[in-house]
Amino acid sequence: MNGEFKMSIKVQMQGAVMTLAFDRPDKKNAITAAMYAALADALEQAGADASVRAVLIHGSQTAFTAGNDLQDFLSNPPQGEASPVFRFLHNISVFTKPLLAAVNGPAVGIGTTLLLHCDLVYAGESARFATPFSQLGLCPEAASSLLLPAVAGYHRAAAMLLFGEAIGPLQAREMGFVNEVLPDDKTIAHALERAQALARLPASSMRVTKRLLKQGQQQAIAQQMQAEGEEFRAMLGSPEAREAFSAFLEKRKPDFSRFG
């Protein structure tokens, strides 16, 4: 598995820790359907393989991920719950081993919402978290409309999800979804060290503790993800989303004034 490239997701074993690295620097690690499929497969593999004791998701020293690849979404929109993006979201939400993330630079859309499913999140000083769903004519996904208010409180979650403006690492830590803020050149190494520390502890304790932490919310998360998914898929075909996506790709500001 070491060093294997799967469509811009680099999957490696570092001791007992599986690292999943976004590796598409020319597009700020924007995630295509093929990359979601690779992530979903890797999580399934990690869950089934006893030699994997923890998983760390990270990007580069300058970019975590710009979120969904907007070009890919336009030309190849996810059709249903079997689509790679929803398979990834399901797998990340039910993953039973410690799941960590290290974030530098932009973490946009799903780049931020996936963090709500991680157990520990480490951010570099350059980290910028944004959920610009409204700016794209879309709505929240990944159960973020449930999980963000749960960690940050209703009003802070509403501000983040309605405005879609980016926040920095200190604000994200204050909101409750970042554990520690570090210099950019230390983030990934520190997160890996923390993952390896968890990997040395009894796997049974990790499993049971995580189950106990999460079980109260599990059913609600699945229901919210399904409800969000239905809205999201419908909104992807809306004229507002098409205008927003085209504007991004044409490098202009979107104009929503003609839509009611």
User: Which of residues 219 and 253 has its CB atom nearest to ligand COA in the complex?
Assistant: 253
Residue whose beta carbon is closest to ligand COA: 109
Q: Which residues pair with 145 in a beta bridge?
A: none
User: Which of residues 71 and 209 has its CB atom nearest to ligand COA in the complex?
Assistant: 71
How far apart are CB 147 and ligand COA at their closest, in Å? Answer: 16
Strands 9-14 vs 4-6: parallel, antiparallel or unpaired: antiparallel
How far apart are CB 99 and ligand COA at their closest, in Å? Answer: 21
Q: Which residues bind ligand COA (CB under 6 A)?
A: 27-28, 30, 66-71, 106, 108-109, 132, 136, 248
Is the Cα torsion angle 155, 158, 162, 166 positive or negative in sign? positive
Q: Whose CA is closest to 67, among 99, 103, 13, 100?
A: 103
At a CB cut-off of 8 Å and minimum separation 6, what does 169 contact? 103, 123, 124, 125, 127, 129, 178, 181
User: Which of residues 98 and 109 has its CB atom nearest to ligand COA in the complex?
Assistant: 109
Both tokens of 190, joined, read: 């520190």
User: Which of residues 4 and 230 has its CB atom nearest to ligand COA in the complex?
Assistant: 230
How far apart are CB 128 and ligand COA at their closest, in Å? Answer: 7
How far apart are CB 132 and ligand COA at their closest, in Å? Answer: 5
Q: Whose CA is closest to 247, among 136, 161, 164, 166?
A: 136
